[in-house]
Chains A and B, each alone.
Chain A
Amino acid sequence: MSSSKQALAHPASSADAAPGDKPGAAGRANGRGTPPPGSSSWRSRLYRWDMKASPYAFISPFFIVFGAFSLIPLLYTAWYSLHNVQLANLDGQTWAGLDNYENLLSSDFFWNALWNTFTIGVISTVPQLLMAIGLAHLLNYKLRGSTVWRVVMLTPYATSVAAATLVFVLLYSWDGGMINWLLDFVGIDPVNWRESDWGSQFAVSSIVIWRWTGYNALIYLAAMQAIPVDLYESAAIDGANRWQQFIHVTIPQLRPTILFTVVVSTIGATQLFGEPLLFGGVSGSKGGSEHQYQTLGLYMYDQGWIIGNLGKASAIAWSMFLILLIVAVIQLLISRRLRKSQ
């Protein structure tokens, strides 16, 4: 892993250097731009052109796809969010100004969806990452059949949202469901996992937790294996036991990786869609009979493609983006504060 860390130092340095480069200096600077001696001037010109143009040709597919299917649509979504666009009448768009946004801000369902996205995000992300760290710590021991353990922990990742959720719907069903049956076994009253407020949110979160814990554990494991052995040696000499080593060496060393997984999980939680949709069955896009687990992603789908108001759906999409940006800024501030305090 240490070599991969070296690789990471590269983008920052080249990013710093790039704006200062003089035109044409880049090709000569690395000494690779010189054509083979003795070739004709036509060939050498072609060669030099190839040297200059090919990097851009190689990266252009990504930027074309990104531009055509992400960047331009992103701007168009903003445009549509200021219009009245109905699914039933796609050509009859009319200017609506900020109507869609005002409509959202005064809608209880929007605030409900925002709140649900937050609570489901917290109860799915926090336990998931805590368990993943613990799991990674265990996987970091010398294990018999270590690869087998890792593959087994990752199998839920290979299960699709649709297949996983359909199974969990059955496991959580009110009567005859495996989970209520097990609860009954230990003397706990059955929970109405689909209708109750916190029960349904917990059920939806558990699907997320099940699918992603192993994946995050592998990310932590990779980072743990890159921690220098010296640090543990000196901690042991200072008299730290295993638990203290974990708290005072492993966790601080994992800090950047933890931040990374928190960012990725937050992005994922903001967009949560498939799990609650399928968990709700027929009333999926409503997020349950009382909208008790309707997330922002579901709300957008419901408004856009079930009710048919694509202008409003665009406004919801942009709200999601703004919320993500706010979250990103908060996370940046927290990580900066943490780094300063160290």
Chain B
Amino acid sequence: MTATELTTPQSTEPVKTRRERPRVMGAGKQLHAGPLTYVVLSLFALLSLAPLVWTAIAASRSNQRLAETPPPLWFGGNLFKNMERAWEEGGLGTAMFNTIFVAGMITISTVLFSTLAGFAFAKLRFKFSGVLLLLTIGTMMIPPQLAVVPLYLWMADLGWSNQLQTVILPTLCTAFGTFFMRQYLVQALPTELIEAARVDGASSLRVVWHVVFPAARPAMAVLGLLTFVFAWNDFLWPIIALNQENPTVQVALNSLGTGYVPDQAVIMAGALLGTLPLLIAFLLFGKQIVGGIMQGAVKG
């Protein structure tokens, strides 16, 4: 995505002359939704939520009841029993702790490094800054599959197989995060503020600490949430790098799902447990996450 493609289209002359004519009713204004809109949206909302609600229903039933037709449509009484079994048999306790640790470390370092790099790209002049920024964006094109074989071999060499740092290290910093912070800081951080600090003789680190971090705080929060969701759900590298003894939630869910004698109700309880922390975060910060995607993705 080159920058020029996304520049705002300018209204041309004919539009201006037309504007002097009397306004047409309804034209241009943001219109209120009609009943049909609400019906269609409700249908989409239902489709979005139904699989999640049904996970909870299935998790609260017994394995036999799930195999019957019609499938259960309302909650049963086994939810906590199934969750307990998933927690113990699926090793979800360790998995949950591991995932929180991994996702937490990745989030902290990504937000910190992205803010620093984003600030440099947004407000500092240095040689090759434009080329380096394009390079940063370009790296998003490289599929993770291209790195996994050597990474696996190196981690084995280091004796780090099945250890959490194998999962954390490659994601300490992301191109998306850097670009996201750059786009935010270009407009949110007044250049005069930096100049004023400079005139006072502030070093770069002081500027970062006293000017950049306070200005970047809202975007840092959003990037943190997006990174956490991403890290929690990451699958390809963890499943290669970690085994069942020391899994993340996704790896544990995979081994729960591929068990030879699967108890579906327990699997559903595990799936619910593995998603619950994110769903709670979503309930609390949904608005910010939505705003972050709308702000960051268009520019991505």
Contact = CB atoms under 8 A, between A and B. Distances in A.
Contacts of A90: 153, 156
A181 B68 CA distance: 10
Contacts of A253: 9
A176 B67 contact: yes
Q: Determine the main DSSP class of B at the interface with A.
A: helix
B158 interface: no
Contact of A150 (B37, B55, B205, B290): B290
Interface string B127-154: 1111111101101011111111111110
Nearest to A12: B3
Given A26-B125, A281-B257, A236 B24 contact: yes
Given A223-B298, A233-B28, A61 B113 contact: yes
A273 B145 CA distance: 10
B201 to A, nearest CB: 4
Interface of A: 1-19, 21, 23, 26-27, 29-32, 35-36, 39, 47, 50-52, 54-59, 61-63, 65-66, 69-70, 72-74, 76-77, 80, 85, 90, 135, 138-144, 147, 149-171, 175-178, 181, 210, 214-215, 218-219, 221-223, 226-237, 253, 256-257, 259-260, 263-264, 267, 270-271, 273-274, 277-278, 281-282, 284, 297, 300-301, 304-305, 310, 313-314, 316-318, 320-321, 324, 328, 335
Contacts of A273: 145, 235-236
A27 B204 CA distance: 14
B165 to A, nearest CB: 12
Interface string B259-282: 010101001101110110011011
Contacts of A15: 130-131, 133-134
Interface residues of B, number: 139
A73 B28 contact: no
A151 B125 contact: no
Given A69-B151, A147-B287, A5 B134 contact: no
Given A80-B150, A313-B149, A151 B28 contact: no
B143 A320 contact: yes
B298 to A, nearest CB: 5
B128 to A, nearest CB: 5
Contact of B146 (A142, A162, A321): A321
A304 B149 contact: yes
B282 A2 contact: no
A282 B258 CA distance: 5
A162 B250 contact: yes
Contact of B37 (A7, A141, A313): A141
16 contacts: A14-B133, A138-B40, A147-B286, A158-B275, A159-B279, A160-B249, A160-B275, A167-B55, A170-B267, A210-B48, A218-B290, A226-B8, A232-B28, A256-B5, A317-B143, A317-B149
